Chain A
Amino acid sequence: MRGLTIENLSMRFDLPDGGSVQALKDVSLTLQQGELLSVLGPSGCGKTTLLNIVAGFLAPTEGQIVLNGHPVTGPDAERGMVFQQGALFEWMDVRSNVSFGPRMAGKKEAEWAQTVDHLLDVVGLRDFKEKAVYELSGGMQQRVALARCLANDPDVILMDEPLGALDALTREKMQSLVLKLWKETGKTIILITHSVEEALLLGERLLVMAPRPGRIHTEYRLPFADLGVGQDLREVKKHLDFASKREEILSMIWDMEEEIMGRTEEA
């Protein structure tokens, strides 16, 4: 079976003072190959924990992740990860960063050179491949991170707020790029974000999570990602449905935030 299944996932951290935090409770989800899922939620709802479990950096206390029929037990090249920032290797130039995965797999340059150079073209960094990564702007660095992930040809790409540190204009361009790459490569993508707009624009499916314990609150299927491929994203945002969905989700998250605040004030 192709696809990613999250089965009854629960995660409990024990605290040094004897208490415990239920970061995730009974989260279940199935993603078909090639689906793009965006995950939203107030801080503390366990979305990063969820991503770290799917990546294999954390073992869940209950439940399991199954990818293409086999369970996930640790990090692997089949699940690529794009971080918010600071995950590039400063001691390598752009091209060596992008070719890191193939090189670690022991491939010869002849085997990866074409893919890597093509990806550098796609993300628009052809003229920067000999540059040191610390000489690039934040947006360019994230494009390197995307290309590095794609060069390894993973089945699933996990994105942990990859555009969170970028300015609004760069962010918009990068959103188009993510959509384009998603359509072209047909990868399964899980995107974690703080931005409701970004979640709506990019997510074919959208998951709103609620905190304490971290759980799935509402799930949406959205048309905007398909509309946005090859389109000006600002046109998509003018869509009436887009505005109403945005308001709906925003007030949902506001309600959760208020509930948390209220609970803290009572305590």
Chain B
Amino acid sequence: MIVFAIYALIFITSFVVVKTLARKAMTDYTALKTVTFGDESAVRPNRIASVISVLTIFLLWGAFTGSKLVPSMLHAPGPFMGDASFNYTAEAEGVAPDDATVTVRVFEVGTDVQPPEIAPGSGWAKNDVDTVGAWRSGLIRVDKNDEYGRDVGHTVTAVNGQPIAPGGEVMTEFGRVGMSPKGTLNFEPAKGWQMEPIWLPPPEAVVARLVEIANEGYRDSTLWEHLGWSLFRVIVGFFFGALVGIPLGYAMGLSDWFRGWFDPIVEFMRPVPPLALIPLVIIWAGIGELGKIILLFLAALWIMAIAARAGVSGVAISKVHAAYSLGASKWQIMRHVIVPNSLPEIFTGARVAMGVCWGTVVAAELVAAEKGAGMMIMVASKFQLTDIVIMGIILIGLIGFGIDILMRLAEKALVPWKGRI
């Protein structure tokens, strides 16, 4: 909650600050429009906002993970570390209640720790020492070193002077002291607002893991092999999907028999998410390369067939009539009119298909694979290697984004007339 509040605060503050400081000096046509609210074409992304947005995400990530990349004054309060102490009051049969102090050394998990040394103190209840890892909790058997143990009815009745009963708790400045149903104290040091690295590692840990895996690999394959296999599957699956789907779409756009024959199949298969086919593909083709390529083939096939069919349907009849009147044969009309006219639709379809294939391959690798980006993050998650999971997600996102950029560039180069007719 507090993260979202801070996020909203940064959003609003930076908006106010930037808008006050940067009075636009631009005088191009759009900047001179007075009606911008409701005119979508006048809304251009504010690049300052984009930069602040990305920085904010990393800032919050760093601040709430205690990252070294973020100045420590910006850190969210971390977990308590050091020596915590609290008093307890114990009672036992036949003696007066007595107080003693518990000292708990809270340490960073993964480092060596020595319990603090404390004098046992006076009275029948003796002072206790223990160690607890940060973000963890520990049971503290305070009766163990006391002169009157549980055999004579040792019970703790208060912590820091506040009464406590089984199931109850007392908040101290160092954290929460609870009591189990059997009467044992349980110390949970204050966690602060930062995330524990096993839930969310700091950015530098993810980068360090990226370097390590790029150099040494993960699960017998290098990082590039994992990513390369995923890409390879996508490209092969998409290639065959387009190879079959585009001619199928053309046939459906040009022949009533093909249209009638394949319409029910295509219209049925189109809304079936490729992920729903994974179990069947695994049953039929196993979890090897063949199964994955079949799955991606099916993911791309229907999208490409529908795009090609739409491309044929989208050809203006006057263009076809003009070509016939100029003496073109059917084959020439196919080659010089219908195919080029359908290219914009096919490129749109290809972009969608590549996106779907990339999503599907990661999902398929999550289910079963020996190599691949999805397999990498799935295996890592089983060992709670959150840094690898986050690294994998970022890489998958970057590659998916890169594929879309490449497709857009190819589209611009190959069908420059798109959207200009």
Contacts and interface: CB of A to CB of B under 8 A. Distances in A.
Interface of A: 55-57, 74-77, 79-81, 83-84, 86-91, 100-101, 104-105, 132, 134, 145, 148-149, 152, 154, 158
Which has the most chain A C-beta neighbours within 10 Å: B324, B326, B417?
B326
A87 B343 CA distance: 17
Contacts of A75: 321, 324-325
Contacts, number: 75
A91 B316 contact: no
Given A75-B324, A104-B336, 20 more contacts: A55-B321, A77-B325, A81-B322, A83-B321, A83-B322, A86-B316, A86-B318, A86-B421, A87-B319, A88-B319, A91-B343, A100-B323, A100-B336, A101-B326, A104-B323, A104-B326, A134-B420, A134-B421, A152-B326, A158-B325
Contacts of A148: 322, 326
Contacts of A90: 417, 420-421
B322 A87 contact: yes
A8 to B, nearest CB: 24
Contacts of A152: 326-327
A79 B417 CA distance: 29
Interface in B36-72: none
A85 B244 CA distance: 34
Contacts of B415: 91
B316 A87 contact: yes
A75 B327 CA distance: 8
Interface string B310-333: 000000101101111111110010
A145 B328 CA distance: 16
A84 B329 CA distance: 23
Interface residues of B, number: 23
Which has the most chain A C-beta neighbours within 10 Å: B319, B324, B329, B332?
B324
A76 B327 CA distance: 5
A55 B337 contact: no
Contact of A100 (B316, B318, B326, B420): B326
Contacts of A87: 316, 318-319, 321-322
B28 to A, nearest CB: 22
Contact of A80 (B326, B336, B341): B326
30 contacts: A55-B325, A56-B324, A57-B321, A57-B324, A75-B321, A75-B324, A75-B325, A76-B327, A77-B326, A80-B326, A81-B325, A83-B318, A83-B322, A86-B318, A87-B321, A88-B319, A89-B319, A89-B336, A89-B337, A90-B420, A91-B340, A91-B415, A91-B417, A104-B329, A132-B416, A134-B417, A134-B420, A149-B325, A152-B327, A158-B325
**A-B complex: 8 closest residue pairs judged by Cβ atoms:** A77-B327, A75-B324, A90-B417, A91-B340, A101-B326, A87-B318, A81-B325, A87-B322
Nearest to B325: A81
Contacts of A145: 322
A105 B316 CA distance: 23
A134 to B, nearest CB: 4
B325 to A, nearest CB: 4
Contacts of B341: 91
Contact of A104 (B318, B321, B332, B421): B332
Contacts of B336: 89, 100, 104
B417 A132 contact: yes
Which has the most chain B C-beta neighbours within 10 Å: A83, A88, A90?
A90
A130 B329 CA distance: 26
A57 B323 CA distance: 12
A86 B319 contact: yes
A14 B177 CA distance: 89
A89 B340 contact: yes
B146 to A, nearest CB: 92
Nearest to B332: A104
Nearest to A105: B327
Nearest to A52: B321
A90 B421 CA distance: 7
Nearest to A145: B322
Contacts of B318: 83-84, 86-87
B383 to A, nearest CB: 54
A77 B323 CA distance: 9
Interface in B302-361: 316, 318-319, 321-329, 332, 336-337, 340-341, 343
A77 B417 CA distance: 27
Contacts of B328: 100, 104
A79 B336 CA distance: 20
A255 to B, nearest CB: 32
B185 to A, nearest CB: 80
A105 B336 CA distance: 13
Contacts of A101: 326-327
Contacts of A89: 319, 336-337, 340
A89 B323 CA distance: 9
Nearest to B321: A57
Contacts of B322: 81, 83, 87-88, 145, 148
A44 to B, nearest CB: 20
A159 to B, nearest CB: 12
